[in-house]
Every structure is written in C-alpha cells, then in structure tokens.
C-alpha cells in the first residue's frame, strides 16, 4: 500500500486529496475500517499515481524557479530571481531578491505583501465605481480559485492574482464585487459586469483559455 495521511472527520464518505507536494491525504468517516479505506485507494490507484506525479513535477519546477537564474510570473510578465543575504524579500524593478536561507518562505511572504499592496487599492476603486462594498477582504493561497464572494459580502482573493496581467486582475475584482448584486452567473450578472468592464467577455475568454498555473504552496 502506498503511504497516506489519514484524517478521520465528521463526514459520510471517503475523500482523497493530493497536496501540492504530492502527498496523499485521505479523509474518512470516524471509525471506518482500514480494509475499506485501502480497498477504495486501490480502486483509485491509477488516478492517485497520476496526480502525485503531476504534483511532484510542479513542485520541483517551483523550487527550481526560486533559484538564481529562475523566474516567477508577475503581472503577466516575469521577475528574475536573485538571492541576497537579508531575511526580507524585496522586489526592485524586474528582480525579486529572495533570502538565500529560505527562498520558498521568502517568496510566499513577498507574494502576500505584493497582493495586499496591489489589490486593496483596486478593490477600493472598483467598490466606489460599482457601489459594491465588501464587508471584509481576506487573502489566501488555495489553488483553484482566483477569488470568491459570499452572500454576507466577504471577499476572498488569491495571492496568486499578482501573476496575472492587470486587466485580468481587474476582471476578477469586478466579477467578485458584482456577486454582491447577483450571486449566480446569470445573463443579468454578466450584463452588469460588462456594464463596468466593456471588455469583460474577451478577458474572460482569454482567462479560461490560457490560465497560468497556480504556483504550488
Ligand atoms: Zn463568479
């Protein structure tokens, strides 16, 4: 049997997840027998192996990108990576200086700071224009979603947005703010988004065609 991390939880079914580092995490109902869990895993083995291989490849490419001579995506372009002796990551012009002692943590620290510095003023500006004022804004790293808005008006943005071109970032912000008017993706919703961003349809199409991959954590 392959290695996996088991998390018993209050749920009715088994769920498997591959972490960005390629580890297998299994969530199971409390008290479920090991035999049943492993039979389930054997059934899904092909899928698991494939996803693990993909995740490991991405994770390796990621640590290579964070070496001198590597690069990271930024506003639709690229920043060169360089090392230096300090602990605080700094971007200067087109170079991202990461602490040699820990480039990975340095990168995530930089990206969360950059996301706040870049996105908060954009959200403020678009809140004024759309008159949709989120109650709260939070930032995260979870892969899979650029942003989300819930019914209570809590806006969540992904730090990885800083890798997109500005017009795509703008689209994500306007899209999420407009969810304060329509919680769905109805024709009315898209009409409102288009009202604020006449290029919305083109941008959305370009985004769905060639989304840059989320950088694994
Ligand atoms: Zn949406």
Q: Where among 25, 49, 65 does a domain terminate?
A: 65
pLDDT at 64 over 90: no
**d(CA 97, ligand 1 centre) in Å:** 35
pLDDT given for residue 160 in this prediction: 92
State mean pLDDT over 25-31: 93
Tell whether 18 and 77 lie within a shared domain: no
pLDDT given for residue 217 in this prediction: 44
pLDDT given for residue 150 in this prediction: 94
Q: Is residue 24 part of a domain?
A: yes
State mean pLDDT over 44-57: 93
State mean pLDDT over 128-151: 92
The mean of the pLDDT values for the chain is 92
**d(CA 113, ligand 1 centre) in Å:** 25
pLDDT at 193 over 60: yes
Tell whether 21 and 81 lie within a shared domain: no
pLDDT in tens, 201-215: 999 999 887 656 666
**d(CA 76, ligand 1 centre) in Å:** 22
**d(CA 126, ligand 1 centre) in Å:** 16
Q: Where among 65, 86, 103 does a domain terminate?
A: 65
pLDDT given for residue 215 in this prediction: 60
**d(CA 174, ligand 1 centre) in Å:** 10
pLDDT at 58 over 90: no
Domain count, the chain: 2
Tell whether 111 and 205 lie within a shared domain: yes
Range 18-26 contact pairs with CB under 8 angstroms and sequence separation of 24 or more: 18/48, 18/51, 18/52, 18/55, 19/55, 20/55, 20/58, 20/59, 20/143, 20/216, 20/217, 21/55, 21/56, 21/59, 21/216, 22/52, 22/53, 22/55, 22/56, 22/59, 24/48, 24/52
**d(CA 161, ligand 1 centre) in Å:** 15
**d(CA 176, ligand 1 centre) in Å:** 6
Predicted TM-score (pTM) of this structure? 0.80
pLDDT in tens, 9-22: 998 999 999 987 88
Task: Tell me the pLDDT band of 94, cut-offs 50, 70 and 90.
Answer: very high
**d(CA 52, ligand 1 centre) in Å:** 29
**Residues spanned by the domain of 75:** 71-209
Tell whether 124 and 163 lie within a shared domain: yes
Q: Is residue 215 part of a domain?
A: no
List the one residue out of 52, 56, 58, 26 whose CA is nearest residue 41. Answer: 26
Q: Where among 65, 90, 116 does a domain terminate?
A: 65
Tell whether 198 and 97 lie within a shared domain: yes
**d(CA 81, ligand 1 centre) in Å:** 33
Q: Is residue 26 part of a domain?
A: yes
**d(CA 105, ligand 1 centre) in Å:** 30
What pairing do the DSSP bridges indicate for beta strands 71-74 and 136-140? Answer: unpaired
């Amino acid at each position: 049997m392959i290695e996996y991390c088991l998390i018993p939880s209050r749920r009715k079914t088994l769920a498997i997840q591959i972490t960005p580092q390629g580890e297998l995490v299994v969530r199971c109902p409390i008290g479920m027998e090991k035999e049943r869990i492993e039979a389930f895993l054997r059934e899904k083995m092909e899928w698991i192996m494939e996803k693990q291989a993909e995740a490991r490849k991405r994770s390796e490419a990621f640590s290579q990108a964070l070496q001198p001579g590597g690069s990271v995506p930024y506003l639709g372009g690229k920043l060169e990576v360089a090392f230096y002796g300090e602990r605080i990551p700094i971007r200067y012009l087109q170079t991202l200086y990461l602490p040699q002692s820990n480039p990975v943590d340095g990168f995530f620290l930089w990206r969360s700071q950059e996301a706040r510095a870049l996105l908060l003023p954009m959200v403020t500006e678009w809140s004024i224009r759309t008159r949709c004022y989120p109650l709260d804004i939070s930032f995260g790293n979870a892969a899979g979603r650029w942003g989300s808005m819930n019914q209570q008006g809590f806006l969540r943005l992904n730090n990885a947005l800083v890798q997109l071109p500005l017009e795509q970032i703008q689209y994500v912000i306007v899209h999420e703010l407009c969810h304060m008017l329509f919680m769905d993706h109805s024709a009315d919703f898209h009409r409102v988004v288009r009202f604020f961003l006449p290029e919305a349809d083109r941008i959305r199409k370009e985004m769905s065609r060639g989304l840059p991959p989320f950088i694994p954590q």
